[in-house]
Chain A
Amino acid sequence: AFFWLVSLLLSSLIWFIAVKASDPHDEPLQKGLLIFGVMFSVLLQEAFRFLYYKLLRKAIEGLVALSEDGCSPISIQQMAYVAGVGFGLMSGAFSMINLLADALGPGTVGIHGDSQLYFLTSAFMTMVLIFLHTFWGILFFHGCENRRWWEIAAVIVMHLAVSGSTFCNPLYVGSLVPSYLLMAAAAVWAYLLSGGSAQNLRRFLLCK
């Protein structure tokens, strides 16, 4: 969570500088700058995920070196999951919490002609992002562990795609549908990478 926060800080710093240096009345330019800010932020987030991976790697080596039976009390997969959840929770909290606070107060959604589904779609989008961050954490760490660069590249591309799809909001079908599809794909992939299989799933569902 902290690492995500720092990445957000840096990316907003860049965006802020860009905005201050540009003309505030030029609408398309501002929107373009915002888009640039979003992309840059996505890249920074992934970079910080990588840095976090490095830090955890060092921590695991330390734990293994000091432990009695040569294996650390927490595995890298667990750490990947936790890292993903941390990123997701922080990103979700930052996206939603002001909305929720405002939702407690009086008001009408979309009174000025905007979409009336604003809160709903925000909630769904946030949820899909939290899940995605969790899965991306697992995929990313797995890719780093086994030196499969294409997995890491896939995560980055997916993140860019999801963020990019939100640019067609308020045309919600353009953002929510692809995001959920990507989430399903990432879920299956992460599940398989974590050692799951169709048999496991069946056994779990049938409570064997």
Chain B
Amino acid sequence: MTELSAHLPQFQHGQLTENFPDNHLSNTNDSSERRRHDNSERRRNDNPGSETNGQPQNNIQQVVEQDEEEDEELTLKYGAKHVIMLFVPVTLCMVVVVATIKSVSFYTRKDGQLIYTPFTEETETIGQRALNSILNAAIMISVIIVMTILLVVLYKYRCYKVIHGWLIISSLLLLFFFSFIYLGEVFKTYNVAMDYITVALMIWNFGVVGMICIHWKGPLRLQQAYLIMISALMALVFIKYLPEWTAWLILAVISVYDLVAVLCPKGPLRMLVETAQERNETLFPALIYSSTMVWLVNMAEEDPEAQRKASKNSTYDKQAPANQTQNEDTDADDGGFSQEWQQQRDNRIGPIESTPESRAAVQALPSNSQTSEDPEERGVKLGLGDFIFYSVLVGKASATASGDWNTTLACFVAILIGLCLTLLLLAIFKKALPALPISITFGLVFYFATDNLVQPFMDQLAFHQFYI
């Protein structure tokens, strides 16, 4: 096991912190509102049929108010769709983790701890155990904070190569090494005889396709599937190597940290998001789960026009970090986008979330792209760290709860409701929000409550076969 723990720190070093910048949901930025109003005003003013020329001001005022309401309504409508779009991957990740925990005993066996949690929890007294777990959690959190700050500093000073290298190394490690271990354990559990050559071939294919999908281009569903798989693998590692009390403490502290890091003005994650928005860049594509890929709308006849507008926009881009271009950048971040924006969509290239899409978009320009986009295609993004910690919570609940499936189910529902609430807040506030705090709080509350309170009750009821 020594070589495992030797690899792990390096891995942890890389992957953990990368995931943490993304413990937040990205959505529109503040200026999108203004932008929408600009667009609508322009459109209304350009309308030749307008007869109220003498009162342009009132017109604009009313229009602005109407637009706001329409925006809100559409936001709510599409908000529901986005909730479902995020429910499915989160549920899948949790299902994979719970299924693995229940069947493969490797991940519930105690085989030592990470070097990030050096204090053991097998102590004589409860006080000692509590102290050890607090120390472990403190060490882990400080490692995470240091790594996040390092990442933000690297990003600010444009050391993109370092960041990309870091990301590539950690996804390499995840995709090859951890999936190899996982596959090995699954084979052991089901007593499947397998030779090394087949395994090597399988892992090689899996890993290479994964690297391509995540860091470069690939079909959206495949990319999403790979992101879910690596989140599940990471969550399984956490479940295995974090001792009990440490794990719960870390979950609690991480959600507080997430809250602080994303919402405080000097929080590292907030600075990361703002810097990315200023530079009109997307955040690292390898660390964010995006529920859609934004395709370019272009119909055949609009292509030259779009191309012209595209070049115009790129110069405009350099001129002013104004609302317009900022919105083009983050439009794909928007949950629920308004109809007016929809109509103006051929104007923008939208430097879309990740390089795969922007390249696809640019390539789609000259060749008549047939994919037309409808408003519902706009998606919402969730950081992989959120996936991982949700799955850690549910996995730990299924691994160590006395109420077993009841507790797992309760935590699952709690996390999903928390996610719903977070998305609702996202639709209201329209800026990057931390996705962890509400869900993890609900999850923790429900875990401890169900395990200690509901479990005995349900046990007794089932024993007597009473029904409530």
User: Residues of A with Cβ closer than 8 Å to B?
Assistant: 1-2, 5, 8-9, 11-13, 15-16, 19, 30-31, 34-35, 37-38, 41-42, 45, 62-63, 66-68, 73, 90-91, 93-95, 97-99, 101, 118, 121-122, 125-126, 129, 162-163, 166-167, 169-170
Q: A1-B413, A68-B73 are in contact. Are A98 and B456 (CB under 8 A)?
A: no
B76 located at the interface, meaning its Cβ lies under 8 Å from any Cβ of chain A in the complex:
yes
Contacts of B462 in A (CB 8 A): 95, 98-99, 122
B409 touches A169 (CB 8 A): no
Contacts of A2 in B (CB 8 A): 413-414, 417
Q: A16-B457, A34-B460, A38-B461 are in contact. Are A98 and B404 (CB under 8 A)?
A: yes
Sorted from nearest, which 4 A-B pairs have the closest CB atoms?
A: A66-B73, A12-B457, A169-B465, A97-B405
Q: A63-B76, A163-B467, A170-B465 are in contact. Are A37 and B414 (CB under 8 A)?
A: no
Interface string of B396-419 (1 = CB under 8 A from A): 000000011110011001100100
16 additional contacts, CB 8 Å, given A8-B454, A66-B72, A166-B467? A2-B417, A12-B454, A13-B449, A16-B453, A16-B456, A34-B464, A66-B69, A91-B468, A93-B409, A94-B406, A95-B462, A101-B404, A125-B465, A125-B467, A126-B467, A162-B467
> Can you name the residue of chain B whose Cβ is closest to the Cβ of A45?
B468
| Interface CB pairs A-B, < 8 A, 6 | A11-B468, A16-B452, A66-B73, A121-B465, A129-B467, A163-B468
Q: In the complex, what distance in Å separates the CA atom of A95 from the CA atom of B462?
A: 7
Interface members, chain B 427-468 (any A CB < 8 Å) = 446, 449-450, 452-454, 456-458, 460-462, 464-468
Q: A66-B76, A73-B77, A98-B406 are in contact. Are A5 and B413 (CB under 8 A)?
A: yes
CB distance from A200 to the nearest CB of B (A): 30
Q: In the complex, what distance in Å separates the CA atom of A94 from the CA atom of B408?
A: 10
A31 touches B464 (CB 8 A): yes
Q: In the complex, what distance in Å separates the CA atom of A171 from the CA atom of B464?
A: 11
Contacts of B456 in A (CB 8 A): 12, 16, 19
Q: How many A-B residue pairs have CB under 8 A?
A: 96
A5 touches B457 (CB 8 A): no
- Which of A68, A122, A129 touches B465 (beta carbons < 8 Å)? A122
> Can you name the residue of chain B whose Cβ is closest to the Cβ of A121?
B465
Contacts of B406 in A (CB 8 A): 94, 97-98
Q: A45-B468, A167-B466 are in contact. Are A9 and B453 (CB under 8 A)?
A: yes
Interface of B is mostly: helix
User: Residues of B with Cβ closer than 8 Å to A?
Assistant: 69-70, 72-73, 76-77, 403-406, 409-410, 413-414, 417, 446, 449-450, 452-454, 456-458, 460-462, 464-468
Contacts of B70 in A (CB 8 A): 68
Q: In the complex, what distance in Å separates the CA atom of A162 from the CA atom of B468?
A: 8
Q: A5-B446, A73-B77 are in contact. Are A41 and B69 (CB under 8 A)?
A: no
Q: In the complex, what distance in Å separates the CA atom of A8 from the CA atom of B73?
A: 34
Q: In the complex, what distance in Å separates the CA atom of A188 from the CA atom of B392?
A: 45
B466 touches A97 (CB 8 A): no
Q: In the complex, what distance in Å separates the CA atom of A60 from the CA atom of B457?
A: 36
Q: In the complex, what distance in Å separates the CA atom of A91 from the CA atom of B454?
A: 13
> Can you name the residue of chain A whose Cβ is closest to the Cβ of B465?
A169
Contacts of B466 in A (CB 8 A): 34-35, 38, 163, 166-167, 169
CB distance from B66 to the nearest CB of A (A): 11
Q: In the complex, what distance in Å separates the CA atom of A163 from the CA atom of B77?
A: 39
- Which of B77, B417, B453 touches A12 (beta carbons < 8 Å)? B453
Contacts of B454 in A (CB 8 A): 8-9, 12
Kindly name the residue among B76, B405, B417, B466 whose own CB sees the greatest number of chain A CB atoms within 10 A. B466
Contacts of A9 in B (CB 8 A): 446, 449-450, 453-454
Contacts of A162 in B (CB 8 A): 467
- Which of B452, B458, B460 touches A94 (beta carbons < 8 Å)? B458
Q: In the complex, what distance in Å separates the CA atom of A5 from the CA atom of B458?
A: 12
CB distance from A33 to the nearest CB of B (A): 9
Contacts of A169 in B (CB 8 A): 464-466
Q: In the complex, what distance in Å separates the CA atom of A170 from the CA atom of B457?
A: 19
B468 touches A42 (CB 8 A): yes
B458 touches A67 (CB 8 A): no
Contacts of A90 in B (CB 8 A): 413
Contacts of A31 in B (CB 8 A): 464
> Can you name the residue of chain A whose Cβ is closest to the Cβ of B460?
A34
Q: In the complex, what distance in Å separates the CA atom of A4 from the CA atom of B73?
A: 29
CB distance from A65 to the nearest CB of B (A): 9
A13 touches B409 (CB 8 A): no
Q: A129-B467, A169-B465, A170-B465 are in contact. Are A37 and B76 (CB under 8 A)?
A: no
Contacts of A118 in B (CB 8 A): 465
Contacts of B461 in A (CB 8 A): 34, 38
A98 touches B453 (CB 8 A): no
> Can you name the residue of chain B whose Cβ is closest to the Cβ of A6?
B446
Contacts of A129 in B (CB 8 A): 467
Q: In the complex, what distance in Å separates the CA atom of A42 from the CA atom of B461?
A: 13
CB distance from B63 to the nearest CB of A (A): 15
> Can you name the residue of chain B whose Cβ is closest to the Cβ of A73?
B77
CB distance from B465 to the nearest CB of A (A): 4
Contacts of A170 in B (CB 8 A): 465
CB distance from A101 to the nearest CB of B (A): 6
> Can you name the residue of chain B whose Cβ is closest to the Cβ of A169?
B465
CB distance from A5 to the nearest CB of B (A): 6
> Can you name the residue of chain A whose Cβ is closest to the Cβ of B72?
A66
Q: In the complex, what distance in Å separates the CA atom of A121 from the CA atom of B414?
A: 30
A101 touches B413 (CB 8 A): no
A37 touches B457 (CB 8 A): yes
Q: In the complex, what distance in Å separates the CA atom of A94 from the CA atom of B459?
A: 11
CB distance from B403 to the nearest CB of A (A): 8
